[in-house]
Structure 1
Amino acid sequence: MKSDDLWNFALACYATPGVEKACLELQALEMDVCLLLACSWLEARGVRRDAQRLEALKQLSKDWQSAVVLPLRNLRQAWREQAAGDTELADLRRRVKTLELEAERIQLDRLQRVTQHWLPEDGSDDWLNPLCAGVEGDPRAWLNVLRRAASQLGAGGAG
């Protein structure tokens, strides 16, 4: 896997045992999984975090999530029960899920474009913990699952 490819990193990370559950738990806490995956990728690569960088990523993600990803997700989830007994609706629901995944891929691509010139350097590379501010509950254990998976993928180093 190329460490400079956020989409492939996200797929590999998500496929790591325990990460899917962690991501679903974090999503249930209303955390943005795409932003979390991007931040774990930056951490693993040793990219320095600063307030401006983090805020730029948060704003980009918030805008895309609210305008595109969340409406698709909400529609898909709203159809869950009814689609169980309606094959045509179930097919539409699967197609909405495909669109939702494509929207997340685009979000990750946009996050990567913003960060493409951010190189590993001295400074804080803790990108995940600052995302906990204002979150109900304690997501740190789930964030550590994500952090360990990113580290195991060997994304740190050359990009």
Structure 2
Amino acid sequence: MSIWEWALEVYARPGAPEACLALQDEHGQNTSLLLWAVWAETTDSDLLARAATAARAWDETALKPLRAVRRALKAPAPPIEDAAREGLREDVKAAELRAERVLLETLQAMSPHRKGGAPALAALEAATAAWGRPAPAQALAALAEALH
């Protein structure tokens, strides 16, 4: 199973979207990096540092700008018709999802040996440390629980 298929599957589990959004919006995390670390079952600090560097660059280049546009398009913007604005917002949302997929697939290519053996919570803790902005243990535990 590809990382993208896996991510879609686990993201659909109860509590996963909320846990990911809380880590992203409240704690400044890159959820693609977190999901990849769990998928790769890794706590390897060198690998995580390289992955965090790649994620940080892609975050600035694509994810943050697309997310900002999508969120800005949520509110009415007269004289633009709501249907046109909402249609554009859906297009931007699709581009944002594509950007997340590109990042996940890039990270997957960095870890051809998927089974590192690390439990989900350990992988999340190591990934958030590599990201440079550690997230609260409770928020990481909520995501680890939702993913399994």
TM range (shorter): 0.7 to 0.9
TM-score between both structures, scaled by the size of structure 2:
0.83
**Kept in 2: contact 1:128–1:143 (CA 8 A):** yes
Q: Percent identity?
A: 33
Q: Cα distance, 1:121 vs. partner? A: 6.0
In the TM superposition, residue 145 of structure 1 has moved relative to its aligned partner by 2.6
1:100 counterpart (96, 101, 120): 96
Q: How many residues align?
A: 141
Ranges of 4+ aligned residues in structure 1 off by more than 6 Å: none
- In structure 1, the partner of 2:31 is 33
Q: 1:105 to 1:129 in 2, by over 3 A?
A: same
Residue segments in structure 2 that go unaligned for 5+ positions in a row: none
Q: CA deviation at 1:129?
A: 1.0
* Unaligned residue ranges in structure 1 (runs of 5+): 153-159
Equivalent position amino acid for 2:30 in 1: D
State whether residues 36 and 128 of structure 1, in contact with CA within 8 Å, keep that contact through their aligned partners in structure 2: yes
1:110-137 CA distances to partner (integer Å, 9 max, x unpaired)?
0100111355369xx922113444537x
Query: Which stretch shows the higher mean deviation, 58-67 or 79-88?
Result: 79-88
Q: Tell me which residue corresponds to 1:90.
A: 86
Instruction: Summarize the alignment of residues 1-159 of structure 1 with structure 2, pairs less than 5 Å apart.
Output: 2=1, 5-28=2-25, 29-43=27-41, 47=42, 49-82=43-76, 86-117=82-113, 119-120=115-116, 126-133=122-129, 135=133, 138-150=135-147, 152=148
Task: Please report the RMSD computed on the Cα atoms of aligned residues, expressed in angstroms.
Answer: 2.3
TM (norm. structure 1) is 0.78
Contact 1:6 1:108 in 2 (8 A): yes
Q: How far 1:87 sits from its partner (Å)?
A: 1.4
Q: Name the SS of the counterpart of 2:28 in structure 1.
A: coil
